[in-house]
């Protein structure tokens, strides 16, 4: 059971009060949820679709600071649109010691704070209770919504209208920790959708490119020469998919990386973090293989 709890507020639907035309503060959210004995930190107050990668880094840094300051249960209120990306970035940069010591839970809401029946207060209260129970268990960063917990690695917002908006494909609450990284990101990564309706010109001025293909991360043959050119220029290319649970990672002898079970967005976050930590392509590839393989240590339930 946690002894010290911190609530980090970042805005989002959970905080938006239409009548007052402003975001509620972390203290106001805690009061509405009936939560006491917590430290409150306000990092930003924005809808999550407006957050930048730098904002995401600031939120992850606030989580680390809270744990380093003595908190063993940290709850982040966040907009649901990009919650999964910020939670995953936080997981990547949390570090082994913090992961073992503290529980980190992201939560939000699908209804405004002044809705006649808001879901935010119950989600926040549930997230705090869950984080306090999970403290010291090494579960890693989780997303909590509608009385369900999801590992940050697999959490996906799958419904823009339902209160139970997130799913993790039947995966357990916790994923194996990815190899720890320093909190340094290389922002020169671009994410592109490719397929019959998307044949973009691939950029040559980035450190990394994530291509979201179809099926098992398939990309149009017409783009193969451009991809080969990127690789020849030393640009790291990751193949991802719009589907879920693709059981493919790094292929021996291939210059390309595969996102495996990561969404394209999470693959882009991971690539930014990897490029911020490794100058050597072989070291980056070794980390990538371990990081992607780590999430596959727990298989889906069979039917």
**270: number of Cβ within 10 Å:** 28
Active site residue 13: yes
* CA-to-CA dists, residue 229 to 29, 74, 191, 221, 288, angstroms: 51, 44, 17, 14, 21
Q: Which two tokens stand for residue 236?
A: 């790291």
**Do residues 169 and 292 lie in contact, with contact meaning Cβ atoms separated by under 8 Å?**
no
Q: Are 119 and 84 in contact (CB under 8 A)?
A: no
Say how far apart CA 47 and CA 15 lie, in whole Å. 9
Which of 13, 80, 82, 86 is labelled catalytic?
Answer: 13
Which active-site residues does the annotation give?
A: 13
């Amino acid at each position: 059971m946690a002894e010290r709890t911190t609530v980090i507020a970042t805005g989002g639907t959970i905080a938006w009060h239409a009548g007052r035309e402003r975001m509620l503060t972390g203290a106001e959210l805690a009061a509405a949820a009936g939560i006491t004995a917590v430290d409150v930190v306000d990092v930003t107050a924005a809808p999550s679709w407006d957050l930048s990668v730098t904002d995401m880094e600031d939120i992850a840094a606030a989580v680390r600071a809270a744990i380093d300051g003595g908190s063993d249960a940290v709850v982040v209120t966040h907009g649901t649109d990009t919650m999964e990306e910020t939670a995953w970035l936080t997981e990547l940069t949390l570090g082994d010691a913090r992961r073992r010591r503290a529980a980190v839970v992201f939560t939000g809401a699908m209804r405004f704070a002044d809705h006649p029946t808001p879901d935010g207060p119950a989600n926040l209260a549930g997230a705090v209770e869950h984080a306090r129970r999970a403290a010291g268990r090494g579960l890693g960063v989780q997303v909590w919504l509608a009385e369900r917990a999801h590992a940050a690695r697999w959490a996906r917002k799958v419904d823009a209208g339902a209160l139970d908006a997130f799913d993790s494909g039947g995966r357990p609450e916790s994923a194996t920790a990815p190899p720890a990284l320093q909190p340094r990101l290389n922002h020169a990564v671009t994410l592109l959708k490719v397929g019959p309706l998307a044949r973009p010109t691939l950029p040559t001025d980035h450190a990394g490119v994530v291509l979201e293909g179809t099926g098992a991360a398939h990309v149009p043959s017409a783009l193969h020469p451009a991809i080969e050119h990127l690789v020849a220029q030393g640009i790291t290319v990751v193949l991802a998919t719009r589907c879920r649970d693709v059981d493919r990672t790094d292929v021996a002898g291939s210059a390309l990386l595969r996102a495996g079970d990561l969404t394209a967005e999470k693959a882009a976050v991971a690539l930014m973090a990897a490029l911020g930590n490794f100058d050597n392509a072989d070291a980056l590839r070794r980390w990538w293989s371990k990081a992607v393989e780590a999430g596959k240590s727990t298989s889906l339930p069979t039917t």
